[in-house]
A and B are shown apart, each in its own frame.
Chain A
Amino acid sequence: MAKVAGPLIDLVLARVRDPQGSSHPRSLVLGLLSDLQCTLNAAYEDVMATTTFTLTQRQCFYQTSALIPDAIRIKQVKTTGGEYLEKMPLEEMRAAQPQWFRYMAAQPACYGLYGEDGLVVWPAVDTSASVDITYVKIPTVLAVEGDSTEIADEHVETLLQMVELFLLLRVRDKESAAAKMEEVTTRVKAGL
């Protein structure tokens, strides 16, 4: 269940012993919650979305950031007929077909990734076709205190601790920040 930002701000400010927000304005804490939620979602992949994308004839390479601006990374590609495309390492495409970059077929058979942003839907199609792309999404900005988090509840505590870490570093409370860093690192290593 999503958590409302306002009470989370209260909680963080209480933990850093600034319940009135005199050192850390509530708007600053809200901004950290919002932006760190985006960063954590890039790691935890909680918030996903699906979009239909029309392939360009005879083209297999696409730049994700240009096609889907709110995408962090691609997780799944399927044909509009519902067939999932296998994710294939680019080396295997190269091995399968030396002219793979311009190789064409009626339907794509697999997809591959160049880093975070380069999507290869292969082979390229020689007629018009579409695919459904499921991707890790940039969560909606927490603009006001009534907005709610989108990452999974089990990751909200890590989000709060990460915000605490940033606030402790902001006031250069080194001892507390070092302890918090250790705590957050332990949580992250435990997959929390």
Chain B
Amino acid sequence: MTRATTLTWVDDLSATQADATLTDDYYDAVVQDVSAIAIFVEASLVAVTSGTSQYTLPSYAREILSVFYDDTELERTSKRELTDYNSVWSLESGSPVAYGIDDESKRTFVVYPVPDISSAAFAFPFGEPFGRDYPRYALSVVHTDVRVDYPKWMDLPIAASVLAQEFRRESNHKDVEVAALWKSTSELLLGMIFT
């Protein structure tokens, strides 16, 4: 049920030929791809500052699924659409009704119009940030997560995908046919699970 278990499988199934440092990197790349499947989904609160349109996703977030401002779900749009709709959109203020991905590499998104009220303090006396303690005028972002450890049922599909990369790279054990078969195995398992 962990990265360590998966990498142990990679070592065993490569008959200890896999390079531990490289497979570590391959693991990271594979889970980045896999995280788009929405295996892990989380809601995060983002504090709103009056007059600020741009906000940053938590470091572990990958894909935004929904954004809510206070109690209202925002429409997804893009900066281009916003500009087409209103060239001075960034000067409009009020309660946000839409959001757009600002810069994926910087993990930021923008909301429109620019909020004119800062969110209430993030104080959670009941320990229920999305329940009784839900702060007024905050943003809630539902997003997929990238994690270090994936659930046990993903160990072998991920291991097979890592092995495909390991046998494809230049090395004394490079074998493109075996790489292709590992890739097909991973795809078969993922296809079985997610269709």
A interface residues with partner B (beta carbon < 8 Å): 28, 31-32, 35-36, 38-43, 56-59, 61, 63, 65, 72, 90, 94, 98-103, 114-118, 124, 138, 165-166, 169-172, 174, 177-178, 181, 184-185, 188
Contact = CB atoms under 8 A, between A and B. Distances in A.
Interface in B51-68: 65-66, 68
Contacts of B140: 101
Contacts of B178: 169, 172, 174, 177
B193 A43 contact: yes
A35 B177 contact: no
B152 A166 contact: no
B31 to A, nearest CB: 14
A63 B41 contact: yes
B178 to A, nearest CB: 5
Interface residues of B, number: 46
Contacts of B151: 65, 72, 138
Nearest to A102: B71
Given A39-B157, A114-B142, A166-B13, A185 B188 contact: yes
B65 A114 contact: yes
Contact of A165 (B130, B163, B185): B185
B120 interface: no
B111 to A, nearest CB: 15
Contacts of B92: none
Given A35-B152, A166-B156, A65 B40 contact: yes
4 closest Cβ contacts across the A-B interface? A115-B38, A118-B41, A102-B71, A43-B192
Contact of B188 (A117, A124, A184): A184
B104 interface: no
Given A42-B193, A169-B13, 8 more contacts: A35-B153, A41-B153, A56-B128, A114-B142, A117-B42, A118-B43, A166-B185, A174-B177
A7 B37 CA distance: 36
Contacts of A38: 152-153, 155
